[in-house]
Structure 1
Amino acid sequence: MRLAGKVCLISGGTAGIGLTTAELFARHDAQAVVVTGRDPERGAEAVERLGGNAWYLPQDVVDEDRWDGVVDAVVARYGRLDILVNNAGWIGDEQAQDIEEVELEQWRRILAVNLDSVMLGCRAAVRVMGANGGGSIVNVSSTAGLMSTPLFTAYGAAKAAITQLTKSVAVHCAWRRYGIRCNSVHPGLIETDLGDRVLALFDPDVDRARTAYLARVPMGELGTPDDAAAAILYLASDESRHVTGTQLVVSGGLGV
């Protein structure tokens, strides 16, 4: 039971990688798994799936005050916060993100959801973890932050910035002996409904787009939410006690 007694918070934890991670944390005996999201119905469904050690809190991750409210609520209920997974993200709508077409408002919104939210989560978590003996922060980035993304300029820029932010948070906390580790996970395209929507942006024929994408993946297959969740679990657990400021790429070899 790799998370026995741990109190965990996962933003964007009601679907996809976030929910799969929450389920894995629960199976590894976490004391509490708190998931956040904007849809209360999805939140209720997630809690039902996760069982008695789960709690849903509504959250818009770009709301600065709400981050402190969520973290304070967790500490008030459980006494501490041991693990934060900054998972919430958004690839954007159907508007073009190439450098000639991307609009400033669109750019700012994508960076807010994917980057500002991670900074706010780290800041709120460090405040309470540092005062309570430490913890682990895992920021979910993407292979989009490790290579050029000419069709997703804003999204790629945000995910790349998470890498630098993660390193800075890690070293800040290490220097101050807070006992807080901070690492990032970089999934490639994952076999989910969102993955299909991403493929459709490349080619309306999703099967053809998948074939073209897989031709670039050395291992020749898409990852699954379980693959990403397993990487997050390792970085969240005490097994990675001497690992901080690193990037764990889960992509079948793409982008490495």
Structure 2
Amino acid sequence: MAGRCEGKLALVTGAAQGLGAAHSRRLAEEGARVLCTDVNEDGAKETAAAINESFGDGTAFALAHDVTDPAAWDAAVDAAREHLGGLNVLVNNAGIGVGGNIETCDFADWQRCFAVNVDSIFHGCQKALPLMREHAPGSIINISSIAGLIASDTMPAYNASKAAVWMLSKSIALHCAKNNMQIRCNSVHPTFVDTPILDGTARAHKLDKDVLLGKLARQIPLKFVGEPDDIANAVVYLASDESRFMTGAEIKLDGGISAM
């Protein structure tokens, strides 16, 4: 049987590890061909190699990609044209968090957070849409966060940048619909997910990883931390034609936090 994303041509940013690697693998499992990009080129190559080992050579490709650089986006779109033969799924997954409250957050960190989390989506969509139009129908999937909908006093840069992703996604969706591009745009809003980022969090707080997972789980109504595939499964849905009537929307994958 054909997969749910059979024939889709996808570019996934931040694909070296964690959510980006999971998105890339799940899309490939469902029949897509994938260009895995990351500023960590070796990690992107590892993701692509693992996909090709499982699903055959030519399923996945890798590219070094600084998502804050418009010229690097030109190169990424060119690589999608060369290696995939086009592009109709764009997963803007790359993102970072920075520390500090409104009094202690360094402005340079604030700017870097917006450059990676928001400017990357501006550049990516602007550069990718011409090629995506040639291979419509298509889907843009922007990975935001539940932190873009629910604020914290300790992460103003992350809150504000992820909220910007949420609203930017709606503007892009309406633009594409108004111009009859047959390209949809939606945002995904995860809460805590068990990725390598939590390993660093555990080290920073001098906690055993299992202790950290327990602390985080207690904040979630469902009482467990998500797995990467819990988010990647939503990406598969949004990439597939199953979601053809969904645009300008947000999917909350937060174990019930936003319902409280």
TM-score range, shorter chain: over 0.9
Please give the secondary structure, in 2, of the residue aligned with 1:8: strand
* Aligned partner (choices 92, 96, 105) of residue 86 of structure 1: 92
Q: Within the alignment, does 1:76 sit opposite 2:78 as a pair?
A: no
Aligned in 2, Cα 1:42/1:208: closer, same or farther, shift over 3 Å?
closer
The alignment status of 1:55 with 2:61, answered yes or no, reads: yes
1:218 offset after TM fit, Å?
0.7
Structure 2 match to 1:14 = 16
- After TM superposition, list the pairs within 5 Å mapping 1:127-166 onto structure 2: 127-166=130-169
Q: Please give the alpha-carbon distance, in whole angstroms, between the structure 2 residues aligned to 1:211 and 1:27.
A: 31
Question: 8 Å contact 1:200–1:209 — kept in the other structure?
Answer: no
- Counterparts in 2 of 1:111 and 1:212: CA distance versus 1, 3 Å: same
Q: CA deviation at 1:211?
A: 3.4
Per-residue deviation, residues 7-33 of structure 1 (Å, max 9, x unmatched): 110001121011111111111111x21
Q: Which runs of no fewer than 5 residues in structure 2 stay unpaired?
A: none
Please report the TM-score for the alignment, with normalisation by the length of structure 1: 0.93
- Could you tell me how far apart the structure 2 residues matched to 1:246 and 1:130 are? 20
1:171 counterpart residue number:
174
Instruction: Name the aligned partner's letter for residue 5 of structure 2.
Output: L
Q: Which whole-Å CA distance do the structure 2 matches of 1:5 and 1:194 have between them?
A: 32
* Alpha-carbon distance between aligned partners in 2 of 1:211 and 1:25, rounded to the nearest angstrom: 30
The whole-number CA distance in structure 1 between the counterparts of 2:139 and 2:211 is 40
What amino acid is the match of 1:43? A
Note the alpha carbon deviations across 1:86-125, whole angstroms, 9 max, x for none. 0001113xxx420010111110011101111111111122
Identity of aligned residues (%): 38
The whole-number CA distance in structure 1 between the counterparts of 2:110 and 2:126 is 23
2:114 is matched with: 111
Question: Is 1:221 aligned to residue 224 of structure 2?
Answer: yes
Pairwise mapping of residues 204-219 of structure 1 onto structure 2 (< 5 A)? 204-206=206-208, 207-219=210-222
3-state secondary structure, aligned to 2:73: helix
Q: Distance in 1 between matches of 2:18 and 2:84?
A: 26
1:64 paired residue number: 70
| Shift in CA distance, 226/175, structure 1 to aligned 2, threshold 3 Å | same
Query: 1:63-85 CA distances to partner (integer Å, 9 max, x unpaired)?
Result: 11111221122113333201010
Structure 2-normalised TM-score? 0.91
- Distance in 2 (alpha carbons) for counterparts of 1:172 and 1:15: 32
2-side partners of 1:194 and 1:19: how far apart? Answer: 13
Corresponding residue of 1:248: 251
State the AA in 2 paired with 1:2.
R
C-alpha change, 1:208 and 1:39, in structure 2 (3 Å) is closer
Q: For residues 54 and 149 of structure 1, do their structure 2 counterparts lie closer, same or farther at Cα, with a shift above 3 Å needed? A: same
Work out the CA distance in 2 between the residues paired with 1:121 and 1:232: 17
The CA distance in 2 between the partners of 1:192 and 1:43, in whole Å, is: 16
Q: Are 1:235 and 2:241 matched, yes or no?
A: no
Consecutive unaligned residues in structure 1, runs of 5 or more: none
Aligned residues: CA RMSD = 1.6
